[in-house]
Amino acid sequence: MSKLKTENYKGTRDFFPEEMKLRTWMFGVMKKIVQTFGYEEYDGPLLESLDIYKAKSGEEIVNRQLYNFTDKGGREVAIRPEMTPTLARMVASKSRELAKPIRWYSIPNLWRYEAPGHGRLREHWQLNVDLFGVTGFQAEVEIVQLACEILFAFGATSKHFKVRFSNRKVLNDFLGKTLGLEESKQQAVAKILDKKNKISVDEFNNLISEQLNKPETDLRLVNNFLNSTYTNLSQIAGIENENSKEIEAFQREMNKLGYGEVVMFDPSIIRGFDYYTGFIFEIFDTSPENKRSLYGGGRYDNLIGLFSNDELSGIGFGLGDVTLENFLRTHNLIPSFKKRTGIFACIQSESCFSEMAKISTKLRRVGLMIEMNLDGNLKLGKQIANAEKKGYEFVLIMGEEELKEQKINLKNLVSGEQKKISIDDLQLVIQSLTKT
């Protein structure tokens, strides 16, 4: 029989220990920051009823990207392509009991049937941070602030990324009132706006013109809208004052808090999901090699309403691990994970095994990390070579002589320095060496 392939499924990754170290570090930094804002961790199932995505996740996800099937009991199920519907379902099931505002986060793996490429895979992990029960712009401020603080905690500066935001209400005003488009045309124009940065100017103008009532004059209005700033948006006829004010209040507050350099109003931000009702945003790397957004999020006023009669406005974002890793690599923000902080213990004969196992257990019980060579017949040189390959800086070496003397050799593999120390002093010596 021919051998099975060791290759993983298209668009997925195997996380060997080396990659796992990077992932654990990235998740650790994210968790640390969201927790400082008071967010609590939650989780949900990988499989959900297909209906919860059909309701509001949008046409692209449901028709093209979903992994869905009928289970053995005849139920239509889907592997989660995003976390927001699961979160809305969970919050709806307990919305009356939960203390407000609800601040939750999770790092689920998500599945989308995509054409894999730079920044896009079929399985990715996504930090989801969501806040429920605050309708004022202060929630937008907190969510975007938190998103920025995560990148700062990785060592990024305001030169490395930009937060681009808009508002669905302003977009609806523009498409419906300024351009006077009917519902289906509004959706078609929104889709073209969403593609704006991926197509040429001519292609964009042609596609948009096909949808407009008065192509010549309305195309000028579209470009005028796309070039508007948070201060002159209110001058566009059709855009409600209270909606342009929302944009202004948010930007002014972000300026006041010191995020003015990274946050900018960008009317071409659309977001593909049907559930967003107001503020929407994406965060982009300023380096041109990473075109895909790092973060995507926004406010959704009535998602909970799919599951219950209670009303609770939510706002949040997703930060993908693939795009984040690309971002960190591009800006040289990933530390080396090669060095192991513990000790590798070598034995020069089988008779040393019990004593070394005993010593190792004692040291592990006080929290030290000892990885033991288990084969006393393996040549010492080979044991040390293994320790070096694994990234250890220090090894313990025990032979018959040391066993008799109740001493042990401690060797620094980098300097080559070796000293014999009493087993009784070992704990203190190792603690001082491996203190980080």
Q: Which residues bind ligand HAM (CB under 6 A)?
A: 82, 84, 112, 114, 120-121, 124, 126, 128, 130, 293-298, 316-318, 320, 322-323
Structure tokens at 212: 């407009």
Q: Closest distance between ligand HAM and the C-beta of residue 298, in Å?
A: 6
Residues with Cβ < 8 Å from 160, sequence gap 6 or more? 151, 285, 286, 287, 327, 331
Could you tell me what percentage of the chain is helix, strand and coil, using 3-state DSSP and rounding each to the nearest 5? 45, 20, 35
| Nearer to ligand HAM (CB atom), residue 128 or residue 360 | 128
Q: Closest distance between ligand HAM and the C-beta of residue 247, in Å?
A: 19
Q: Closest distance between ligand HAM and the C-beta of residue 50, in Å?
A: 17
Q: Closest distance between ligand HAM and the C-beta of residue 300, in Å?
A: 7
| Nearer to ligand HAM (CB atom), residue 65 or residue 158 | 65
What Cα–Cα distance (Å) separates residue 55 from each residue in 46, 190, 225, 298? 18, 19, 30, 17
Nearest to 279 by CA among 130, 183, 134, 137: 137
| Nearer to ligand HAM (CB atom), residue 298 or residue 342 | 298
| Nearer to ligand HAM (CB atom), residue 299 or residue 407 | 299
3-class secondary-structure state, position 53: helix
User: Quick one: DSSP state of residue 61?
Assistant: I
Q: Closest distance between ligand HAM and the C-beta of residue 299, in Å?
A: 8
Q: Closest distance between ligand HAM and the C-beta of residue 53, in Å?
A: 11
| Nearer to ligand HAM (CB atom), residue 160 or residue 411 | 160
Q: Closest distance between ligand HAM and the C-beta of residue 152, in Å?
A: 18
- Chain Cα centroid distance, residue 79: 18
Whole-angstrom Cα distance, residue 268 to residue 290? Answer: 18
Which residue(s) pair with 47 in the sheet? 79
Cβ–Cβ contacts within 10 Å for residue 20, how many? 12
| Nearer to ligand HAM (CB atom), residue 81 or residue 267 | 81
Whole-angstrom Cα distance, residue 320 to residue 110? Answer: 10
Is the distance from CB of 272 to CB of 81 less than 8 angstroms?
no
| Nearer to ligand HAM (CB atom), residue 130 or residue 402 | 130
